[in-house]
Amino acid sequence: MVPFFVQIKCQLGKSYEVANALADAEIASEIYSTAGEFDLLAKFYIEPGTDIGHFVNERVQILPGIQDTRTIITFKAF
């Protein structure tokens, strides 16, 4: 499995709704609320060979209440 993270900026007042929608979709392994420019940080795992850009576009960014995302691709866990 290939891990990556997505920082999610939500529309005002929608952070909990977006977090619940992510949890209900069962596509994120972990979801955290954060302070700063983005409201949520979600960790995802996908099968090798799956296009991360298509996954984020088709499975994450379609959720109501999401205003912006930033994808962080990871290389190695220590």
| Euclidean distance between CA atoms 78 and 76, whole angstroms | 6
Average pLDDT, integer, range 35-61: 97
Model confidence at 76: pLDDT above 90: no
**77 against 24, higher pLDDT:** 24
At position 65, the amino acid (one-letter code) is G
Q: pLDDT tier at 77 (50, 70, 90 boundaries)? A: confident
Q: What is the DSSP code (8-state) at residue 36? A: S
For the chain, domain boundaries: 2-73
Question: Which residue, among 41, 47, 59, has the nearest Cα to 2 in the 3D structure?
Answer: 47
Fold of the CATH domain 2-73: Alpha-Beta Plaits (3.30.70)
**43 against 77, higher pLDDT:** 43
pTM of the predicted structure, to 2 decimals = 0.94
